[in-house]
């Protein structure tokens, strides 16, 4: 696929599933794969429910980078 088609698919995914995720398309072991970076585990669960395993001929993988608890600041000045 050419770059225009890949960009069109990423834009279509953002419109269909939500712009709060980061979409990339790369070649994987099963062919072209749509990677959805959902951020937190909670967002990844929501994305996995909304996005099918196969979409527009692409295999779909939803990634998470941690939990909401991990994103909390380590220091809270209001506690001192």
Report residue 56 as tokens: 């527009």
Q: Are 55 and 32 in contact (CB under 8 A)?
A: no
Question: Which pLDDT tens digit goes with each residue over 11-63?
Answer: 999 999 999 999 999 998 889 999 999 999 899 999 999 999 999 999 999 99
Among positive and negative, which fits the CA dihedral 6, 12, 28, 1?
A: negative
Q: Give 1's pLDDT tier (boundaries 50, 70, 90).
A: confident
Sequence ranges of the domains in the chain = 3-68
pLDDT in tens, 5-16: 999 999 999 999
What Rg value do the Cα atoms of the chain yield, rounded?
16
């Amino acid at each position: 696929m050419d770059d225009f088609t890949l960009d069109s698919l990423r834009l279509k995914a953002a419109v269909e599933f939500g712009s709060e995720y980061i979409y990339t398309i790369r070649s994987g072991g099963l062919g072209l794969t749509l990677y959805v970076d959902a951020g937190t585990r909670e967002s990844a669960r929501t994305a996995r429910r909304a996005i099918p395993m196969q979409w527009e001929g692409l295999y779909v993988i939803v990634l998470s980078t941690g939990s909401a608890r991990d994103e909390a600041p380590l220091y809270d000045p209001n506690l001192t």
